[in-house]
A and B are shown apart, each in its own frame.
Chain A
Amino acid sequence: MNIVLQLIQKEIKSEWKQKYAFNGLLLYVVSTVFVCYLSFRQIVDLPTWNALFWIIQLFAGVNAISKSFLQEGRGRMLYYYTITNARSFILAKIIYNLLLMLVLSGFNLIFYSLFIGNPVQNMPMFILAMVLGSAGFSAVLAMVSAIASKAGNNFALMSILSFPILIPILMVTIRFSKNAMDGIAWAVNQQFAIILLALIAMVFALSYLLFPYLWRD
Chain B
Amino acid sequence: MKNNTTSVFSGLQWWKWLCIVLLFYTFYQGLMIEVPRMAILHETIRNLFFHVTMWFSMIIMMFASLVYGIRYLSSNDIKFDIKASESAYTGVFLGILGLATGSLWAKYTWGAWWVNDAKLNGAAAAMLVYFAYIILRGSIDDEHKRAKLASVYGIFAFTMMLVFIMILPRLTDSLHPGNGGNPGFSNYDLDSKMRTVFYPAVIGWALLATWITEINVRIKVLKNKSEE
A interface residues with partner B (beta carbon < 8 Å):
140, 143, 147, 150-152, 154, 157, 160-161, 163-165, 167-168, 171-172, 175, 192, 195, 199, 202-203, 206, 210, 213-214, 217
Cα separation A199 to B163 with both chains bound (whole Å):
9
A168/B168 contact (C-beta < 8 A), A147-B136, A210-B155 known: yes
Contact of A160 among B135, B145, B164, B167 (CB under 8 A): B135
Check B140 for interface membership: any CB of A closer than 8 A.
Answer: yes
Check B128 for interface membership: any CB of A closer than 8 A.
Answer: yes
A147/B153 contact (C-beta < 8 A), A167-B164, A168-B168, A195-B167 known: yes
Cα separation A170 to B160 with both chains bound (whole Å):
12
A171/B168 contact (C-beta < 8 A), A157-B136, A161-B136 known: yes
Pair A165/B129 contact, Cβ less than 8 Å: yes
Cα separation A192 to B170 with both chains bound (whole Å):
12
Check B152 for interface membership: any CB of A closer than 8 A.
Answer: yes
Chain A hits for B73, CB < 8 A: 213
Cα separation A23 to B10 with both chains bound (whole Å):
70
Cα separation A41 to B151 with both chains bound (whole Å):
46
Pair A167/B125 contact, Cβ less than 8 Å: yes
Mostly, the B contact residues are: helix
Pair B140/A202 contact, Cβ less than 8 Å: no
Cα separation A143 to B157 with both chains bound (whole Å):
12
Contact of A214 among B125, B135, B152, B168 (CB under 8 A): B152
A-B contact pairs, 8 of them (CB 8 A): A140-B156, A157-B135, A161-B132, A161-B136, A165-B132, A206-B159, A210-B156, A213-B151
Given A202-B163, A206-B155, 19 more A-B residue pairs with CB atoms under 8 Å apart are A147-B136, A147-B149, A152-B140, A157-B135, A161-B132, A164-B129, A165-B156, A165-B160, A167-B128, A168-B164, A168-B167, A171-B168, A175-B171, A195-B167, A199-B163, A206-B159, A210-B155, A214-B149, A217-B145
Check B3 for interface membership: any CB of A closer than 8 A.
Answer: no
Cα separation A154 to B136 with both chains bound (whole Å):
11
Check B139 for interface membership: any CB of A closer than 8 A.
Answer: yes
Contact with A along B163-193 (1 / 0, CB 8 A): 1100110010000000000000000000000
Minimum CB distance partner of B129 in chain A: A164
Tell me how far the C-beta of B79 lies from the nearest C-beta in chain A, rounded to whole angstroms.
Answer: 18
Check B16 for interface membership: any CB of A closer than 8 A.
Answer: no
Which residues, 69 to 109 on B, are CB-close (under 8 Å) to A? 73
Tell me how far the C-beta of B131 lies from the nearest C-beta in chain A, rounded to whole angstroms.
Answer: 8
Cα separation A161 to B128 with both chains bound (whole Å):
9
Pair A210/B168 contact, Cβ less than 8 Å: no
Cα separation A161 to B171 with both chains bound (whole Å):
25
Check B148 for interface membership: any CB of A closer than 8 A.
Answer: yes
Cα separation A154 to B129 with both chains bound (whole Å):
18
Pair A151/B140 contact, Cβ less than 8 Å: yes
Chain A hits for B135, CB < 8 A: 157, 160-161
Chain A hits for B129, CB < 8 A: 164-165
Chain B hits for A147, CB < 8 A: 136, 149, 152-153
A165/B155 contact (C-beta < 8 A), A147-B136, A213-B73 known: no
